[in-house]
């Protein structure tokens, strides 16, 4: 969601993610192309596909820990130059596709903003240990019954 600093008309537009992350619109590079989506003959005339390019490596708006998690999770969307790409062509008009890109980016950043829960080491239950040993014993007996009988006579 885009917010203006305080009130409408004052300052640059900002993409508000949470209290910690706000990205100014000046960091985004937009381009538009002809869309392959719905629109009939309009598709051939209007560039409604929105392409968002964001230099994530050099962005001062993103905290380091969030940047690291974001880049690890979405590394396939990052170019060799360190630009993050999102495209949208699901709507007929450019502005809705632009908003769809921003909504998708917001959701991705919110996911990456949450630190992963630490793993707690657990022990197997006594019942699962007993079942495991019983299953191993049964498998061993089955294999031993497949062998040829010993020639003791």
- Number of domains, the chain: 1
Helices (H), the chain: 64-73, 94-113, 126-146
Give the N- to C-terminal CA distance of the chain in Å, as an integer.
87
Q: Indicate which CATH number applies to the domain containing 65.
A: 3.30.160.20
- Asked whether residue 63 is domain-assigned, the answer is yes
pLDDT at 131: 97
Is residue 28 pLDDT above 50, yes or no? yes
Is residue 125 pLDDT above 90, yes or no? yes
- Asked whether residue 82 is domain-assigned, the answer is yes
- Asked whether residue 120 is domain-assigned, the answer is no
pLDDT at 11: 55
pLDDT at 6: 41
Is residue 4 pLDDT above 60, yes or no? no
Is residue 7 pLDDT above 50, yes or no? no
Rounded-to-integer distance, Cα 39 and Cα 48, Å: 10
Q: Which structural domain, as residue segments, surrounds residue 67?
A: 27-113
Mean pLDDT score across all residues of the chain: 84
- Burial pattern 133-152, b for ≥16 Cβ within 10 A else e, equals eeeeeeeeeeeeeeeeeeee
Stretch 93-112: mean pLDDT: 90
Pairing of strands 28-33, 2-4: unpaired
Whole-prediction pTM value?
Answer: 0.67
- Asked whether residue 55 is domain-assigned, the answer is yes
- Asked whether residue 44 is domain-assigned, the answer is yes
pLDDT at 39: 63
Stretch 74-83: mean pLDDT: 88
- Asked whether residue 38 is domain-assigned, the answer is yes
Is residue 20 pLDDT above 70, yes or no? yes
Contact between 19 and 72 (Cβ < 8 Å): no
pLDDT at 40: 67
- Asked whether residue 62 is domain-assigned, the answer is yes
Residues with Cβ within 8 Å of residue 135, at least 6 apart in sequence: none
- Asked whether residue 5 is domain-assigned, the answer is no
Torsion (CA) 74, 80, 84, 88 in degrees, nearest 10: -90
pLDDT at 99: 92
Residues in the chain: 153
Rounded-to-integer distance, Cα 49 and Cα 37, Å: 9
């Amino acid at each position: 969601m885009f917010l203006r600093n305080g009130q409408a008309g004052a300052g640059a537009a900002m993409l508000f993610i949470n209290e910690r992350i706000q990205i100014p619109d000046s960091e985004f590079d937009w381009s538009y192309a002809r869309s392959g989506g719905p629109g009939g003959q309009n598709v051939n005339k209007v560039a409604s596909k929105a392409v968002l390019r964001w230099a994530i490596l050099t962005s001062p708006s993103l905290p380091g820990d969030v940047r690291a998690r974001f880049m690890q999770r979405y590394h396939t969307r990052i170019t060799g130059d360190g630009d993050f790409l999102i495209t949208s062509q699901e709507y007929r008009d450019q502005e809705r596709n632009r908003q769809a890109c921003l909504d998708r980016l917001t959701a991705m950043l919110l996911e990456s903003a949450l630190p992963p829960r630490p793993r707690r080491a657990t022990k197997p239950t006594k019942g699962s240990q007993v079942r495991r040993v019983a299953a191993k014993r049964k498998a061993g007996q089955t294999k031993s019954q497949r062998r040829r009988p010993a020639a003791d006579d």
